[in-house]
Structure 1
Amino acid sequence: MISALIAFSFLKSKKASLKLDFKEIRQFSWDIARKIIGLGSAAFTMQLTNTLVQIAGNFQLSVYGGDLYISIRTVIASITQIMDTPVHAMSEGASPVLSYNYGARNGKGIRKGIWIMVAMGISYTAAAWATIMIHPAFFISIFSDDPSMVNMAIPALQIYLFGYVFQSLQYAGQTVFKSLNRKKEAIFFSLFRKVFIGIPGMFIMPLLFTNKALGVFAAEPVSNVIGGLACFITMLIVIMPSLKKLDSSGLENRKSEYNV
Structure 2
Amino acid sequence: MTTEPANFDYVSSTARIAVYDNLRSTPRVVEIPPAPTNEYITSIATQTYTLAREMGGQIPFTVVQEVSENFIHAYFTEVVVSVLDGGNTIRFTDQGPGIPDCGKAQLPGYSSAVEEMKRYIRGVGSGLPIVKEYFEGAQGSVVIENNIRTGAVVTISLKAENEREEAPLRQALRAAQRPASESGYPNEAAANGATNIARGVHAADSTSTNATSGPLMDSMPILSPREQEFIELFYSEGPLGVTEMGELTNTAPSTTHVTMKKLVALGLIEVPAGTKKRVLTARGRAVAQQL
TM-score clears 0.5: no
**TM score, norm. by length of structure 2:** 0.24
**TM score, norm. by length of structure 1:** 0.26
Task: Name the structure with the higher helix share.
Answer: 1
Task: Name the structure with the higher strand share.
Answer: 2
